[in-house]
Structure 1
Amino acid sequence: MSHTDRPAPLRWTHALEATDRLDPVVARLRPLADRLLEDPSRRALLHGAPIGHALHPLMTDLPLGLWMSSTTLDLLGGPRATRAADRLLGLGVLASAPTAVTGLADWALGDRRVQRVGSAHALLNVAAAALYGVSWLQRRRGARVRGIATSLVAGVVVTASGYLGGHLSVALKSPPPQAADPDAPDVVVDAGPDVPGVDPTGS
């Protein structure tokens, strides 16, 4: 399949891998990640060593599940479900914080392509969490319809972020399995010869 025949979302994601416009974001995140991983025991925990598996993909299910459940109640639950929908939304915002921390730990292990796509993934996640937070405040202030609309917009943003997260995990093999299990076999990642501007070595 040629580059132009690939689905548009995949072409856009490959463009993120190749663009240097995300490098300033990478440069800002790098010191935060370095400080986060200074302590060996904390680093092992965030990389999922106690369970032998990357922790971040597991963690993402919690905020996403809470937010999607909230939206389902908003749309189908009727008046009796409003309190539950709002609580689920707020819990999702709270759960997004530790999820982001585990994501930053994985991001620190990646090559240049991983860190560029991961930076875009992180920016979208921050935007989605902020929108869900705004939605929660709007509901608290009585603007329920507006709050639901804001949640729907946030859902679109977090879906786009999820696509990038899937690309990181499936296409770019991030994080490497050795982060959580030192005995795991090496994984070779090939960006492919028809991805313009991408160095498969990540150098």
Structure 2
Amino acid sequence: MSGMSLPRRAAHAVAGSSVSERVADAQAFVYAPLLDWARRSPLHSDVLGHSLHPALTDLTIGCWTSATLLDVVGGSASRHAATLLTGAGVAVAVPTALAGAADWAEMTGSRRRVGAVHAAGTDIATFLFAWSLAARLGGRHATAVRLGVAANLVMAAAAFLGSHLALNRGTARRPSEGIRQPVRPG
């Protein structure tokens, strides 16, 4: 493990953590009815040949990153646009989370643990962005910007774990009809 990069060591630590297992168990308990629905919903499709969740994350993260960039470099003239982007990100976070939850419900072992910590991070970031939106709508721009920057930092860490799952662990793949895909152990 000493030859691994710091990010890979972090993902490996999350995957093997007993705390991550407790987070996964808590999420499975709290979200059980929602998980069953999400697995049967159109958000859990194989029509793309891969999970819908990664494509939706691009929308969510794109909105929020753009809002924060406007806040930092756009000045007061960009506040309205930043508010719209923050709100759009919060709105699209709902189907994004449901698509991810449907994928997560089928994971086991270390993938399930990494997915649980990823989901907890995205939940925290979404809450912070919703709080930022409320601050924006209440005229508290400085607070909204601080919350947005903090939320982007949390989202970056959560997105790293999600990318690790989708790209390194193959959790976003959907088997093609008639073609059996190899399954990597947990």
* TM-score, normalization by structure 2: 0.89
Residue 163 of structure 1: how far off its partner (Å): 0.5
Aligned counterpart, 1:187: 182
Q: Could you report, residue by residue, the CA deviation over 1:84-133 in whole angstroms, capped at 9, with x for unpaired residues?
A: 11111011111111100000111122221111000000000011011111
The yes-or-no answer on 1:117 pairing with 2:98 is no
Aligned residues: 185
Task: Indicate the residue corresponding to 1:58 in structure 2.
Answer: 55
Identify the residue that residue 108 of structure 1 maps to in structure 2.
105
Q: Which runs of 5+ in 2 are unaligned?
A: none
Partner secondary structure for residue 142 of structure 2: helix
Is the Cα contact below 8 Å between 1:110 and 1:175 reproduced in 2?
A: no
The amino acid of 1:186's aligned partner reads: Q
Percent identity at matched positions?
Answer: 32
Q: 1:19 & 1:53 partners in 2: Cα distance?
A: 28
Map of 2:153 onto structure 1: 156
* One-letter amino acid matched to 2:36: L
Offset of residue 36 of structure 1? 3.3
- What residue number does 1:19 align with? 17
Residue number in structure 2 paired with 1:36: 35
CA pair 157-144 structure 1, distance change in 2 beyond 3 A? same
Q: How many angstroms apart in 2 are the aligned matches of 1:73 and 1:57?
A: 24
Query: Would the aligned equivalents of 1:176 and 1:187 in 2 still touch at CA under 8 Å?
Result: no
Q: Give the TM-score normalised by structure 1.
A: 0.82
SS in 2 for 1:132: helix
RMSD: 2.1
In structure 1, C-alpha distance between the alignment counterparts of 2:58 and 2:3, rounded to whole Å: 32
- Give the 5 Å matches for 1:170-185: 170-178=167-175, 181-185=176-180
- What do the CA deviations read for 1:166-198 (whole angstroms, capped 9, x no partner)? 1101221113422xx443431342xxxxxxxxx
Q: Cα gap change, 1:50/1:188 in structure 2, threshold over 3 Å: closer, same or farther?
A: closer
CA distance in 2 between counterparts of 1:77 and 1:39 reads 38
| Paired letter, 1:111 | T
